[in-house]
């Protein structure tokens, strides 16, 4: 009989939950806009765990969250106003808990189920949504680093000359320049300066695909800049990790891939280091599947401990 895992994927834009079994099959899917206050997140997790525990036999909880998850259980996630927030402690769950960064969870899932890369591959998964993060797979296994926070590619410095800061106060890092939050801020700034006046309430990321389809020059320039910055980040990753492939997930990638991918590839061409760039194979629920794998590994470790 397959085991059940109550899983969460909590990002800066979307909050997802469900139940995953040992084969990665997902059920009881719930999704809504992410809360921005830690207490709300604790409340949602607690309520959903209580509900799903009625149908999940002897469950383990897996949480993938868009931030730095340290080995002491504290979370740094600026988009959710968590700064050394003791999430595991605050939850007080009656079940075992596996918690990791959502990009690391997605990388785990791709390492197990990707049709080409499952096995012993070396690759990096980048998530580009409200924020930017990453998961590093070495010889088929997730590399966590000394404190479990390896793969935070969003905070590599790209251009200190830009007057842009991430929520952690880093100037000119990839997250500050090319995340969904950064792009949204630039869209709003341009709107306030008189662009796209037909949008009465301002321009959001949701409006960007339509502007690009319409051939809007300013929108195209923003995507060119964003793709160039991401390309520089990818080139830095290639220099350090030497992966066989870079896999992308997140709203900016899935919605704007055809527009942004060429600019990323152009940067790599300039360094003569092009490698395959692809979208994740498991779709938007990849983080939930990865959280289930982390929970499954926790169960196996306990069984052999």
Examine the pLDDT at 60 and tell me if it is beyond 90.
Answer: yes
Q: How many Å apart are CA 264 and CA 253, to the nearest integer?
A: 11
Q: How many Å apart are CA 173 and CA 180, to the nearest integer?
A: 13
Examine the pLDDT at 305 and tell me if it is beyond 80.
Answer: no
Q: How many Å apart are CA 142 and CA 304, to the nearest integer?
A: 20
Q: What is the pLDDT of residue 1?
A: 60
Q: How many Å apart are CA 104 and CA 225, to the nearest integer?
A: 26
Examine the pLDDT at 101 and tell me if it is beyond 90.
Answer: yes
Q: What is the pLDDT of residue 147?
A: 84
Q: What is the pLDDT of residue 137?
A: 98
Q: Is the dihedral of CA 9, 148, 257, 35 positive or negative?
A: positive
Residues 191-239: tens digit of each pLDDT? 999 999 999 989 999 999 999 999 999 999 999 999 999 999 999 999 9
The percent of residues in the chain predicted with pLDDT above 90, rounded, is 83
Residues 114-141: tens digit of each pLDDT? 999 998 899 999 999 989 999 999 999 9
For the chain, what is the largest distance between any 2 Cα atoms, rounded to a whole number of angstroms?
A: 63
Q: How many Å apart are CA 201 and CA 79, to the nearest integer?
A: 22
Examine the pLDDT at 248 and tell me if it is beyond 70.
Answer: yes
Q: How many Å apart are CA 86 and CA 73, to the nearest integer?
A: 6
Which residues in the chain are classed under CATH 3.30.420.40? Answer: 4-107+284-304, 119-280
Confidence bin at 2 (pLDDT 50/70/90): confident
What is the model's pTM?
A: 0.94
CATH code of the domain occupying 4-107+284-304: 3.30.420.40
Q: Which helix (H) or strand (E) holds 231?
A: helix 217-241
Q: How many Å apart are CA 23 and CA 292, to the nearest integer?
A: 9
**Greater confidence, 2 or 266?**
266
Would you give the DSSP letter of residue 161?
T
Q: How many Å apart are CA 246 and CA 54, to the nearest integer?
A: 39
Q: What is the pLDDT of residue 285?
A: 95
Q: What is the pLDDT of residue 58?
A: 84
Q: What is the pLDDT of residue 104?
A: 97
Q: Pick left, alpha or beta for residue 188 (phi over 0 → left; psi -120 to 50 → alpha; otherwise beta).
A: alpha
Q: How many Å apart are CA 151 and CA 13, to the nearest integer?
A: 20
Pairing of strands 245-249, 123-128: parallel
Overall CATH class of domain 119-280: alpha beta
Q: How many Å apart are CA 272 and CA 295, to the nearest integer?
A: 40
Local structure of 173: helix, strand or coil: strand
Number of Cβ atoms within 10 Å of the Cβ of 300: 11
Q: What is the pLDDT of residue 205?
A: 92
Q: How many Å apart are CA 71 and CA 144, to the nearest integer?
A: 10
Q: What is the pLDDT of residue 65?
A: 95
DSSP string, 107-150: HHHHHHH-TTTTTT--EEEEEESSSEEEEEEETTEEE--SSS-T
Examine the pLDDT at 174 and tell me if it is beyond 90.
Answer: yes
Side-chain-side CA neighbours of residue 183 (13 Å): 32
User: Averaged over 96-111, what is the pLDDT?
Assistant: 96
Local structure of 97: helix, strand or coil: strand
Mean pLDDT computed over every residue of the chain: 94
Q: Pick left, alpha or beta for residue 70 (phi over 0 → left; psi -120 to 50 → alpha; otherwise beta).
A: beta
């Amino acid at each position: 009989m397959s085991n059940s895992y109550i899983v969460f994927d909590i990002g800066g834009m979307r909050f997802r939950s469900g139940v995953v079994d040992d084969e990665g099959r997902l059920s009881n899917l719930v999704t809504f806009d992410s809360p921005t206050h830690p207490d709300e997140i604790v409340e949602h997790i607690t309520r959903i765990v209580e509900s799903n525990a009625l149908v999940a036999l002897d469950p383990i909880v897996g949480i993938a969250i868009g931030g730095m998850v340290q080995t002491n259980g504290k979370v740094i996630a600026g988009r959710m106003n968590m700064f050394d927030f003791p999430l595991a402690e605050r939850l007080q769950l009656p079940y075992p808990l596996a918690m990791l960064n959502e990009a690391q969870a997605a990388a785990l899932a791709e390492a197990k189920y990707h049709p080409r890369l499952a096995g012993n591959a070396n690759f990096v998964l980048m998530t580009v949504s409200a924020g930017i993060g990453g998961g590093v797979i070495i010889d088929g296994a997730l590399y966590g680093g000394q404190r479990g926070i390896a793969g935070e590619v969003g905070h590599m410095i790209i251009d200190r000359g830009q007057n842009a800061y991430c929520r952690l106060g880093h100037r000119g890092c990839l997250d500050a320049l090319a995340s969904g939050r950064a792009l949204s801020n630039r869209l709003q700034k341009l709107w306030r300066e008189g662009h796209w006046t037909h949008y009465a309430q301002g321009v959001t990321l949701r409006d960007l695909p339509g502007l690009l389809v319409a051939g809007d020059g300013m929108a195209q320039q923003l995507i060119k800049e964003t793709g160039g910055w991401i390309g520089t980040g990818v080139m830095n990753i290639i220099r350090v990790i030497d992966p066989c492939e870079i896999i992308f997930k997140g709203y900016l990638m899935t919605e704007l891939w055809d527009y942004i991918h060429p600019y990323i590839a152009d940067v790599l061409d300039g360094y003569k280091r092009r490698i395959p760039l692809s979208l994740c194979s498991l779709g938007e629920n990849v983080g939930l599947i990865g959280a289930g794998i982390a929970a499954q590994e926790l169960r196996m470790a306990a069984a052999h401990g």
